[in-house]
């Protein structure tokens, strides 16, 4: 099963960021005539966020890029550039927010190497019980369909181990 990016959600996110950028520049229109650097720096930061959103979400959506691919042997997550064998996965959880959390047998494999990696690692571990999280909001299929498909592939790969994940 191949899951692509949602064009609607990518465009909605980009339009919302453009709206925030326009509202910000409108609110600071008087300060732009003054000789301060703060509005310019904040404007560049917001423009950088907009370009990041376009690069990470809008461009792959219009290229029909595959965000998540599942086959009999592995799960390929192109949003994070990770490939997992089904036998490496311990549990798969679906949260109400549409986030799929994946726990691995070897939890130490996901520990960050650098100090900058500990903040997202700790936040996702705190909120979703696992540092490996797949957000389904920007994907074409519903979270429940993706989760059920993951469970089918996971259960099929783990039948020889007599481990069945509850639904």
> Alpha carbon 60 to chain centroid distance?
13
What is the bridge-based pairing of β-strands 2-4 and 82-85? unpaired
Q: How confident is the model at residue 63 (pLDDT cuts 50, 70, 90)?
A: very high
- Spatial distance between the Cα atoms of 51 and 60, rounded to a whole number of angstroms: 13
> Which of these, 139, 124, 55, lies nearest to 93 by C-alpha position?
124
Is the separation of the CB atoms in 133 and 83 below 8 Å?
A: no
pLDDT at 149: 93
- Spatial distance between the Cα atoms of 160 and 162, rounded to a whole number of angstroms: 6
> Alpha carbon 70 to chain centroid distance?
16
Q: Is the pLDDT of residue 43 over 90?
A: no
Please write the tens of the pLDDT for every residue from 72-98. 989 999 988 889 899 888 889 998 888
Q: What are the structure tokens assigned to 89, written together?
A: 């996965």
């Amino acid at each position: 099963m191949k899951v692509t990016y949602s064009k609607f959600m990518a465009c909605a996110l980009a339009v919302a960021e453009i709206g925030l950028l326009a509202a910000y520049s409108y609110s600071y229109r008087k300060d732009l005539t003054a000789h301060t650097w703060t509005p310019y720096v904040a404007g560049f930061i917001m423009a950088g966020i907009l370009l990041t959103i376009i690069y990470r979400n809008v461009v792959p959506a219009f290229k029909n890029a595959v965000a998540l691919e599942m086959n009999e042997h592995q799960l390929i997550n192109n949003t994070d550039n990770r490939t997992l064998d089904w036998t490496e996965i311990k549990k798969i959880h679906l949260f109400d927010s549409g986030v799929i959390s994946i726990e691995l047998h070897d939890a130490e494999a996901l520990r960050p190497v650098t100090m900058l990696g500990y903040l997202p690692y700790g936040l996702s571990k705190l909120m979703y019980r696992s540092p490996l999280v797949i957000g389904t909001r920007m994907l074409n299929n519903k979270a429940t369909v993706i989760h059920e498909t993951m469970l089918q592939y996971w259960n099929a790969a783990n039948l020889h181990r007599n481990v069945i994940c509850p639904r």
